[in-house]
Structures are given as C-alpha cells and as structure tokens.
Amino acid sequence: MTNIDVRPASGALGAEVRGLDLEKLTEATFSQLHELLMENLVLLFPEAEPLSAEAHKNFGRFLGELEVHPFLPKLDGHQEIVVLDSDEGAKADVWHTDVTFAANPPIASILQIVQCPPRGGDTMWSNQHLAYESLSAPLRDLLDGLTAVHAFVHPNGTTFEAEHPVVRVHPVTGRRSLYVNRMFTMNIPQLRRAESDVLLEHLFTTSERPENVCRFSWRPGAIALWDNRATQHYAVNDYTERRIGHRVTITGDDPKGDEPRWPHHQDTTTAADHRAQPRSR
C-alpha cells in the first residue's frame, strides 16, 4: 500500500490527498484512491504538480471511458480534455451536477486548474447523501417514488432532455442521494406544476445547505476528483482575473432508484414550457 497523507476537507465530505505522483499512477494506488473517493466523494490534490495531457487522461481512464463533450471547447490535440476558460464564459456559479440532462450522466470528473487568480474562484461541493438523509422519513418515502425531468437547450437550438429518479442509489455503496439540481432539473412529472415547483425549491435549498458543503481554494496545478453521482458543485464567481481549468469526464451510467409509484400527471408540460415559465432561482 502506498503511504499517502489524507486529511479531511470538511465535516460533510471531501479529503485532501498529498504524497502521490499522479503522473505515474498505478493500479494499486488508484485502488486506494477509489476507496477514498467512495468514502469522501471529493478528493482534492492541493500540492499536485501540473499533469501532462496524457497523464490527465490516464488518470480518468482508471475510472472508465472518457467522454468527448459534444460542444465545450477542447485542448488542442486532446478531444477528451475540456478547456474551461472564464474569459470565454466558463463560470458555473449555480449549484449543479454535471450533464444530468443526458440519459447516462457522467460518473466522475477530474479538474486541474492551470491558471487562477491569487484569491477567489474557489469551488464548493455538496454531499447529496447527507441532503437526502436529513429529510423526514415521510418525505423520503414520497421522493423514492418520483422522477424528475432534466433539460438543457444549447444556443444552436438543440434540446437535451432526460428523466431520472429523484433519489438515486449509488451503484458501488448502495447509499441513497438526492438527484435534482437547480441548473438542469425542470419538474417532477408525477406532480402538478405548482406542487413540483415548491417541492423542488425545498430540495434545492436542502441540498445546498452549508452543513453539507466543502470548499477548496485553488492554486495552479491543483486537482479535484469528484463523484458526480452523489455531489453537486458550484464555482464561486468572486474574481475578475482569468481562470482556466482542464477537465476530463468519465462517461456515465444509468441512474437507478426505486420505480416511480405514480404516472405522469395530466398537466405535465414539456421542458420548453418550463423554460418559458422558469422557477424563481
């Protein structure tokens, strides 16, 4: 076993990992990291040296096949590495889970910051296991039998839409978590629109509570690996200097939960209808 230094990042989730050469990651060492990821949901590498593009991709491949994002800009010569540049509008300052509008959302992401301001531009993650477990038993029982519609419309007019359980079961740990987010979740189709809006707002607020959150301050070269199946994240937009990150994303699975116990309500509308009448955010 590799002797690595692991320190909790908060009481809710996250661990800082030191003492690893991620450029030369081995199967044995990754096995340790995977156990830590299942326990902590977010692994932070504050003292990591800048990874080569190939090492960054190889790190991701330990978790699975790498996604080629359909429209985000890529690193030259490396279609699996997305470039997130604040000067090009890459400021995701709304709580979200990545790409939940896809039928098979990504299971994890690995982000390396290559340029950042001297202060500001932190990232926060929230623990959706804790969010679910903090709810009362009757409400958890209701949510276990519901689904939610997630949608995104690209500027070119292409609509992406998927329906997933409101509560998903983690395929490795078996633990339940909330699986709705403020950026992409449109409605709960088994409910009337007004009911859906009120319930989703309560779930969003619960999922974003400070008690469920860890926060990380970046430096150039630092890396974060997170489990996209049980977390949300938020890029804090409190800076003006340029911030650039390189991200690889591991292709998705099929979110599983209990079967819905009710049919879609008859007044269920389309994702386009919901965007025309957005909830208060």
How many CA atoms, within 13 angstroms, populate the side-chain half-sphere of residue 53?
10
The rounded distance, in Å, linking the Cα atoms of 233 and 134 is 19
Nearest Cα to 166, choosing from 124, 125, 207? Answer: 207
Token pair 């007044």 in the structure block, residue = 267
Catalytic residue among 176, 233, 243, 274: 233
Catalytic residue among 34, 61, 78, 96: 96
Catalytic residue among 164, 243, 246, 247: 247
User: Has 34 been annotated as catalytic?
Assistant: no
> Which residues are bridge partners to 60 per DSSP?
none
The rounded distance, in Å, linking the Cα atoms of 6 and 243 is 27
Nearest Cα to 158, choosing from 272, 239, 68, 249? Answer: 272
User: Has 233 been annotated as catalytic?
Assistant: yes
Catalytic residue among 98, 144, 197, 227: 98
Rg (CA), the chain: 19
Catalytic residues: 96, 98, 233, 247
